[in-house]
């Protein structure tokens, strides 16, 4: 079951479960964790492939949240993990896209581009300080996510960098996201709708002025 099926009960999730503790002034506890696969999978179609990451926060070690009836966080929530240190370009990613970003960093390293990969782990709260510190070091940014480009996680990261580190940027921010279309069923079309390693590589090279323009690259 993909997380898309949660939309059948969305009122209970975002209203009843999420607000009962607040509305009862702490007298009523709702010890529940909603957990399920998110984003595209192999050939499950448009109804089951939507990425809901920007709607609610996610954590990589989510199994630790299931130990007791109420959540117990065993690491500092909101702190990303620096997966790869670099000096030429910052790449932010979360969930499945972290693996893609790391593979892209390996390819870029062979071409003389040192990429710093940040695994966000949590997107709400979002550690803006870590992201901006990295951008101020590398002077370039590529955001990677599986969801739609408009109003996405990458857009929020871009806003933060523009507000706090605009003067440090040596190139426009590159945003890699899923295509703004319902997820195709055919495997070859599905691949075109979801960010791939080569998309991240091209974006990083554009940020470093080492690639052809986007239109030509496509």
Listed by start position, the domains of the chain span: 3-66, 81-217
Structure confidence at residue 64 (pLDDT): 45
Average pLDDT of the segment spanning 168-182: 94
Name the DSSP class of 17. Answer: I
- Enumerate the H helices of the chain as residue ranges: 10-11, 18-23, 96-110, 128-138, 153-165, 187-193, 197-207, 214-217
Ramachandran class of 159: left when φ > 0, alpha when ψ lies in -120 to 50, beta otherwise:
alpha
Quote the CA–CA distance of 3 and 108 in Å, as a whole number.
34
pLDDT tens digits for range 53-98: 655 544 444 444 445 555 555 555 556 777 778 999 999 999 899 9
- For residues 178 and 195, is the Cβ–Cβ distance under 8 A? yes
Quote the CA–CA distance of 88 and 179 in Å, as a whole number.
27
Give the global pTM.
Answer: 0.69
Give the CATH fold of the 81-217 domain.
Answer: Rossmann fold (3.40.50)
Band (9; pLDDT cuts 50, 70, 90): confident
Residues sharing a CB contact under 8 Å with residue 135, sequence separation 6 or more, in sequence order: 90, 141, 161, 165, 168, 169
- For residues 171 and 210, is the Cβ–Cβ distance under 8 A? no
Which phi and psi (to 5°) does residue 174 adopt? -100, 130
Average pLDDT of the segment spanning 178-184: 87
Q: Which two tokens stand for residue 71?
A: 């959540």
Structure confidence at residue 62 (pLDDT): 47
Name the DSSP class of 172. Answer: P
Quote the CA–CA distance of 50 and 65 in Å, as a whole number.
24
pLDDT tens digits for range 115-133: 999 999 888 888 999 999 9
Considering only 8-22, 148-162, 184-198, which range has the smallest mean pLDDT? 8-22
Q: Exposure of 186 by Cβ count < 10 A (0-12 exposed, 13-18 middle, 19+ buried)? A: exposed
């Amino acid at each position: 079951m993909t997380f898309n099926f949660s939309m059948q009960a969305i009122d209970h999730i975002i209203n009843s479960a999420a607000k009962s503790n607040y509305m009862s002034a702490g007298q009523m506890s709702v010890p529940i964790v909603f957990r399920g696969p998110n984003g595209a999978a192999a050939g499950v179609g448009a109804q089951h492939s939507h990425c809901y990451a920007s709607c609610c926060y996610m954590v990589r070690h989510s199994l630790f949240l299931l130990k007791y009836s109420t959540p117990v966080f065993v690491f500092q929530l909101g702190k990303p993990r620096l997966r790869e240190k670099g000096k030429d370009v910052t790449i932010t990613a979360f969930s499945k896209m972290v693996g893609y970003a790391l593979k892209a960093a390996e390819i870029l390293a062979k071409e003389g581009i040192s990429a710093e990969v940040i695994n966000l782990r949590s997107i709400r709260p979002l550690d803006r300080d870590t992201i901006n510190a990295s951008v101020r070091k590398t002077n370039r940014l590529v955001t990677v996510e599986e969801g739609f480009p408009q109003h996405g996680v990458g857009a929020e990261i871009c806003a933060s960098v523009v507000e706090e580190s605009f003067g440090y940027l040596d190139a426009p921010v590159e945003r890699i996201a899923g295509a703004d279309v319902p997820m195709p069923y055919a495997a070859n079309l599905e691949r075109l709708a979801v960010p791939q390693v080569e998309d991240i590589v091209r974006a990083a090279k554009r940020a470093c002025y080492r690639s052809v323009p986007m239109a030509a690259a496509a």
